[in-house]
C-alpha cells in the first residue's frame, strides 16, 4: 500500500522555512483553478508575502505562479526531478543555485526555484523529497488500479 500523499506532505512540507499551511482568509486561492475535490496542503512562498513565484501544493499537484500566470502540474505528469546543482555549499550560500528541475512525461523540463534557507538548511531538499514521494505514490496507485505506469 502506498504512503498517501497527505502523509508525505505532513512529513516533508512542514520542515520548509517558506512553507505555510494554507489559510485562505484573503481569498487568494480563488486565483487558482482547483478541482472541487482538490485538497490544499499549503503554500510555498519563495519570497514570503509575494504571490509571484509561489507554489500552491495540493494532493493532485503543484500550482506554480510565475510572471503573474499560474500553471498546474499534476503529479501524474512528472517523470522525475533533480537538483540543478548538487554542491551542498553552493546550495546553502547561493540562492540562485536552489533550482529544482522537474522533468515531465511529455519531455518538457520546468526549472522551479525553491529559495528558502536558514543559512544552514535549504528548503529544496525537503521539497525534492516530497515531490519524489508524491510521484512514487501516484505510480503505485496507478499500477494497483490497473492503469499502468
* 60-89 pLDDT per residue, tens: 999 999 998 999 999 999 999 999 999 999
Q: Is residue 67 part of a domain?
A: yes
Expressed as residue numbers, the domain containing 41 is 5-144
Q: Is residue 78 part of a domain?
A: yes
Mean pLDDT of 84-96: 93
Number of domains in the chain: 1
All cell numbers assigned to 126: 525537503
Q: Is residue 82 part of a domain?
A: yes
Q: Is residue 149 part of a domain?
A: no
pLDDT for 35 equals 86
131: phi then psi, degrees, rounded to nearest 5: -60, -45
Q: Is residue 77 part of a domain?
A: yes
Element (H, E) at 12: helix 5-12
Q: How many other C-beta atoms are found inside a 10 Å radius of the C-beta of residue 139?
A: 16
Position 1 confidence tier, pLDDT thresholds 50, 70, 90? low
- In angstroms, rounded to a whole number, what is the distance separating the alpha carbons of residues 4 and 1? 9
Residue 149 has pLDDT above 60, yes or no: no
pLDDT for 95 equals 94
pTM of the model as a whole: 0.89
* 18-65 pLDDT per residue, tens: 998 876 655 666 677 888 888 889 889 999 888 889 999 999 999 999
- In angstroms, rounded to a whole number, what is the distance separating the alpha carbons of residues 42 and 57? 5
Does the CA dihedral 119-43-135-11 come out positive or negative?
Answer: positive
pLDDT for 27 equals 63
Task: Give the E-state strand segments of the chain in sequence order.
Answer: 19-20, 40-44, 55-58, 61-66, 69-74, 78-83, 99-104, 109-113
- The CATH number covering residue 27 comes to 2.30.29.30
pLDDT for 99 equals 97
Mean pLDDT of 113-132: 94
Q: Is residue 117 part of a domain?
A: yes
Averaged pLDDT score across all residues of the chain? 89
Q: Is residue 14 part of a domain?
A: yes
Amino acid at each position: 500500500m502506498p504512503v498517501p500523499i497527505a502523509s508525505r506532505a505532513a512529513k516533508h512540507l512542514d520542515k520548509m522555512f517558506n512553507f505555510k499551511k494554507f489559510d485562505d482568509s484573503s481569498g487568494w486561492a480563488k486565483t487558482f483553478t482547483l478541482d472541487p475535490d482538490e485538497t490544499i496542503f499549503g503554500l510555498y512562498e519563495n519570497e514570503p508575502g509575494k504571490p509571484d513565484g509561489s507554489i500552491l501544493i495540493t494532493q493532485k499537484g503543484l500550482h506554480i505562479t510565475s510572471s503573474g500566470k499560474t500553471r498546474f502540474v499534476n503529479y501524474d505528469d512528472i517523470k522525475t526531478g533533480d537538483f540543478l546543482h548538487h554542491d551542498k555549499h553552493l546550495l546553502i550560500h547561493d540562492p540562485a543555485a536552489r533550482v529544482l528541475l522537474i522533468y515531465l512525461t511529455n519531455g518538457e523540463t520546468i526549472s522551479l526555484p525553491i529559495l528558502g534557507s536558514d543559512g544552514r538548511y535549504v528548503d529544496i531538499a525537503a521539497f525534492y523529497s516530497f515531490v519524489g514521494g508524491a510521484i512514487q505514490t501516484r505510480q503505485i496507485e496507478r499500477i494497483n488500479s490497473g492503469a499502468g505506469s
